[in-house]
Amino acid sequence: METIIQVKEDPALVFTLIKQGEYDKIETLIENNEINVNVVDGVGNDVVSRLLKAKQYELVLELMKKKNWDVNHQNDEGNTFGHILAHDDSPMAVKLMEQLTKKKNYMPNIKNHKGETAMDIALSNNYLCTAFKLLEDKRFNDINIFSFKQLFNASIKNEVYGKYSKITNFELIVDNLEKKELNSDMQELVNSINDNRDAIKRDFMKNRSVLLESIIENYMVLA
């Protein structure tokens, strides 16, 4: 009870509890609706992001349900909760990303101070499941030819995948990109890929990706 009173008087004390690993007390505070979900620490991380960094996924899920949570809040580095989540490759992180993209007010195109979207971070780490969750979000359209090539390298050129998995990944990527309002260069690239779609898949069946790579490289030269 004393902890609840203290946190009510000074919401930032919740960060002390996180630092000390007193997650049972935080759970009690959440159950009693005594967490200010938008309070931030000294570098601009809100409570949800700090708990994510501590890998307290169940507590994060509970706080994500708060209607007043500023899901697009950026810390001092310009990172949103989504950017921080994109650094995590655990199965729970994928579940959290799925929940995040269901939130109507989430803005997946936000860039941090390095000019990175959450998708850029996921791709740079080869976290394909997370990247696909973002790709499936109709609101996400800030993808350029260079990030598309990263997506290609991770999901198709990667020898981890067999030819049928590569075709599945290819279809998923192109089908999702077709639904988006893309910049002119990306739209032209997607159109060119669609024009050669069957030939590209025949290439995959021979365990090759020469045609798709050639199309991508041609547009990278023009970009």
d(CA 22, CA 16): 9
The predicted pLDDT at position 160 comes to 85
pLDDT at 159: 84
Tell me the C-alpha to C-alpha distance, in Å, between residue 46 and each of 49, 56, 130, 145: 5, 14, 21, 33
Over residues 36-93, the pLDDT tens digits come to 999 999 999 999 999 999 999 999 999 999 999 999 999 999 999 999 999 998 999 9
**Spatial distance between the Cα atoms of 81 and 110, rounded to a whole number of angstroms:** 11
Ranges of the chain whose pLDDT falls below 70: 1-5, 7-9, 222-223
DSSP class of residue 44?
S
Yes or no: say if 128 and 155 are a contact pair by the CB < 8 Å rule.
yes
Looking up tokens 């192109």, which residue turns up?
174
Q: What six digits make up the tokens of 97? A: 């990303």
Question: Which residues on neighbouring strands pair with residue 46, listed in sequence order?
Answer: 40
